[in-house]
Amino acid sequence: MFKKERMESIAEEEDEIRTNKEQPNKVNVPSPQQISTGNVNYQGYKGVVELFNLISDQAAFASEIPIILYFVPFKTERIYRSSLNATVSPCEDFYQYTCGNFNTSMSFDMSDSENVDNMVDQLSDINYVNRSPDPVKQVSWYFLQCVNARLNWTNMVKDGAVVMNAIKRVAEGDPRSLQETQFPFYMLYQTETVLAFPDSAGLGYLFGGLFQRIVSTMSLLAKTQNIKLDFPTLLADAKAIVEFDHLLATTYSTDDTTRRHYDRSYNPMTIDKLSKTYSNISWTTFVSMATIKAQNVVERLLTDPAYQYIVMEPEKLQKLNDNLGDPSFVSSRTIVNYIYYHVVDANVEYLPWKQGSLENIDFFFTERPLLGRPRRIRQGETFFTLLIRTYANARVFIDKIYPTNESRIQLREHVAKMVSSILIGFRTMIDQLNWMTSATKKGAYSKIDNLVKNIAYPDWITDDAQLTSYYKDIDIQVNRDDYLTIMLKIGTFNNILSWNMLVSGSTRRQDFNGPPGTTNAWYQPQLNSITFPAAILHQPFYDPTWPTAVNFGGLGVVAGHELTHGFDDEGVQWDGTGMLRGRTKQSPGSFTFTNLMRNLHRWMDDASKTSFDSMAHCVVKEYDEFCPLNKTAYGTAACLDGAQTQGENIADNGGIIFISMTCHEFLGIHAAYRAYRNFINLYGPDPQLPDEVLQEFTSEQLFFLSFARVCLLVLPNLKSRVWCQQPSVDQSVELQILLDPHSPAKYRVFGTIQNFAAFKDAFHCPSSAYAPDKHCDVWVSDIDSCK
C-alpha cells in the first residue's frame, strides 16, 4: 500500500508539471510544484513546515545571504528557540549561521525523553499490560515500584543498607551488585574472554574532583552506620586512592590512539600460560569467584586447559604482575581501599544525599568499551534511562509507536531503501577512487555487500514465546518484589546473560547489541553491521511522508556517518564478515600507525593502504590546527588531538559526502548525489513545501538545513547529540579535548563543511572560510573534489 500511494502521488505531481508546461532544469528533471492538498503526503509536508520557524532579516537579503531557518522539533516547540543567526554569512561561519542562537538541550536527548514518555504512556494502559506476555508485565511492575521508590527515596536509602550489602557480597566472594563497578578485571571478546586492565579514566576522575568525591562519599556512608571517622586518616587514604588511580592511568594503561588498533590486542593464552606468565595473580581464584553465579558449564569452560583467553595488554599486565610482587609498590591497604571505594561509588546513589549535593560533586567519566565508540556519561543514571535499555521495554515501545504489522513493514521497507541507496552511492564512489587498486576495491565491495542491516528492532521481541524464553531466568514477582529487590535480580540476570554469550558457541551478526528504545544508530566493525533502532526512525529525524531532501539530510546523515565507520582507521581493520586478520608479531616499542597499516588484513593492499594513510593523516593534521582554547593558558590542551579524533572526523566528512555530493553537473556523480539525487530521479521530484517562503529554497539548501538540525553524531555507544550545542565553559572544552574521541561541535562542523564541495554550490560561496581551496579529500579523488 505504501509503495502504491507513493507512486500515485508522484504521478499526480508529474501530471501537474506537464499541465503547466514547466521547462526541465539542468539535469533534465521536471521542476517541482507545490504539493497539493489531496496528496497522500500533504500532512507530512505540513509537518515539515511546522518544524521550521522562519526569521526574515532585511540585511541578509540585501547581501544575498540565503533565507534563514531554525528548527523546532515536533512536540517540543516549548523547549526549542531560534537557533540560527541571520546576521552571519553561512559562507564565513556556518556553525554560527545555524547554531548561533542555540541555548537549549540536544535534540537526541529530547527525543529520548519523548521515547520514555511513549513507553510510560503505554505502560499506563492497564488493558495493554494485562494482555501482554510476562516480561511486559514485569516491566510494568518494575516501573511502578521505581516511581514509588523515587518518591520516597531519602527514607529508603537513609540507612545505607544497599551499599553495605554490596560491600559484604564482595567481602564474601559474591560478585553481585546492583550496578557493575568501574573496576573491570575482564571483558568479553566475541566468544572468548579478554583480560583487560582498567582504562585511563583516572585522568577524568582527577579533573572532576575524585578526592572531594571520595571524602564526601565515605563520610556520608560512615554517618549512616554511626561510625566516627578519623578525618586525617580519611584524607590520607583518599589521597592514596587518587594517586593509585593516577598511577594506573598513566603507567599501566595504553594511550587511546594505540588502542584503536585491535590487531595488537589479540593475544591468546591458556590458563596455564596465564598462571606461569603472571604468577602474582591467582587466575583459578579469579575464575572461581567471577563465575560464582554463572552456569556450571562456564567455570568448566574457563578452566579447560585448552581454553584460550585474550590478553589485550600483555606488556602492561606483565608490568603490573611484576610490581605486585614488589613490597614497595603500593600498600595492601591502598589496594583494598581502592577496590572497596569503587564498590561504594558504583552504588553511590543509594546513599541519603541532600538534594543537589550529589550533582555538585558528580563528574563525567569516559566509558571505553572493547569495541564501538567511547561515550561520556554520568553515574547514577535514573530509572528513566534503565527504562529504554532492555528488549522487554523495546517491545513496549514498538507496540506504542508501530501498533500494526503493516506499519512495521512499511517502516522497514522505506528505511531499507534509503540505506541501500546510500550503499550504492558509496560503491560508485569507490569505483571512482583513482588511488585504490582493483584488488582493494574488491575487498571494499565485500564489506558493502556483506553488511548486515538491522532496522527498528529484532524480530523475536514481537514474538511472545521468544520474548518470554529470553527472560526465563529473571524471577521478578509481580505484586510482591520491591524496587531494590527487582534491581538486584536485574543485575544477576544481566550477569547470567553475559556468561551465556560466552558459551553460546557462535556470533550472531544480526544481534542489535543495543536497545531499540534509545535514540541512536551504530556500526559494529566486528560484525560488519549497522543498526537503526526504532527510536530514531521517527520525527524529528525521519518520516516516510517527508520530502526526500529532509529525510536524507536527517536520517541519511546518521546512516552515512555510521556506514563510514566501516572505512575509518578502525573499520578498515575488519573484513566483510567482521574478521580481524593480518596478525603479525611486533617487537616491543616498534608499533606505529604506519606499521599497523602495513600489517592489516589483506583486503586493503599496500598501495591502497599508503593512500588511505595519507588521507587519514590529512584529517589528523587539519584537526590538529583547530585550537578552541587560549594556548598561553592551556598549553597543548588548547588544540585538538587529530589522531585521537580521526575516526569520528573521517566519519563526519565521509558520512555527509556519501549522501549529497552535488558537484558541478559535469563532474563525476558521488555517492551522496546518487543516494539522494538518483532517489528522486527514480521516483520523481518531491513537491515543494506548502509555504511561500520555504518554496524559495532549493532541495540542496533544504538538505543542508535539515542536516543542520540533526547533523554530526557524537557516538557513544548508547547516547548521541546534534552539533548545535550550548556554548561550553573552558573547563568542559578542556575535558573534551583530552578525553573525547569527538571534536567539539563547532570544529566538527567547520572540518566537515570545508571538505565538502557541495556546500560551495548550495550556498554560492567558493574560496571562503567554510569552503577553502585547500582541504582534505576524504574518500574522493582529487578530480572529484570540486576544488
Give pLDDT tens digits for 700-731. Answer: 878 877 776 664 333 233 233 344 544 455 55
Q: What CA–CA distances, in Å, run from 575 to 184, 451, 588, 602, 651? A: 29, 10, 27, 9, 18
What string of H, E and C letters represents the secondary structure of 722-776? CCCCCCCCHHHHHHHHHHCCCCCHHHHHHHHHHCCHHHHHHHCCCCECCECCCCC
Query: Do residues 455 and 397 lie in contact, with contact meaning Cβ atoms separated by under 8 Å?
Result: no
pLDDT tens digits for range 380-436: 344 445 554 578 888 998 999 889 999 999 999 999 998 888 888 888 888 888 888
Residue 192: its pLDDT value, please? 32
Q: Model confidence at 71, in pLDDT bands (50, 70, 90)? A: very low
Residues 540, 542, 546, 551, CA torsion sign? positive
Contacts (Cβ under 8 Å, ≥6 apart) of 242:
205, 206, 210, 211, 214
pLDDT tens digits for range 215-240: 999 999 999 998 888 888 999 999 99
Least reliable range by pLDDT among 54-68, 98-112, 592-606, 767-781: 54-68
Eight-class DSSP state of 282: -
- Find the angle CA(677)-CA(682)-CA(687) to the nearest 5 degrees: 70
Residue 452: its pLDDT value, please? 95
- Reply yes or no on whether the pLDDT at 268 is more than 80: yes
CATH number at 156-379: 1.10.1380.10
CA distance 538 to 415: 11
Q: Model confidence at 492, in pLDDT bands (50, 70, 90)? A: confident
Residue 636: its pLDDT value, please? 67
- Reply yes or no on whether the pLDDT at 72 is more than 90: no
CA distance 47 to 359: 38
Over pLDDT 90: what percentage of the chain? Answer: 18
The CATH number of 406-458+510-784, from 3.40.605.10, 2.40.50.1070, 3.40.390.10, 3.40.50.720, is: 3.40.390.10
Residue 67: its pLDDT value, please? 33
Return the domain boundaries, the chain: 156-379, 406-458+510-784
CA distance 572 to 569: 6
Residue 468: its pLDDT value, please? 95
Q: Model confidence at 175, in pLDDT bands (50, 70, 90)? A: low
CA distance 428 to 646: 24
pTM, two decimal places: 0.73
Residue 205: its pLDDT value, please? 44
Q: Model confidence at 321, in pLDDT bands (50, 70, 90)? A: very high
Residue 352: its pLDDT value, please? 92
Residue 480: its pLDDT value, please? 95
- Reply yes or no on whether the pLDDT at 672 is more than 70: no
Domains 156-379 and 406-458+510-784 share a fold: no
Residue 270: its pLDDT value, please? 94
Higher confidence at residue 490 or residue 635?
A: 490
Is the omega angle on the peptide bond into residue 30 within 30 degrees of 0, that is, cis?
Answer: no
The type of residue at 92 is: E
Question: Among the ranges 453-457, 606-610, 615-619, 681-685, which has the highest mean pLDDT value?
Answer: 453-457
Least reliable range by pLDDT among 115-124, 184-193, 427-436: 184-193
Residue 137: its pLDDT value, please? 95
- Reply yes or no on whether the pLDDT at 461 is more than 50: yes
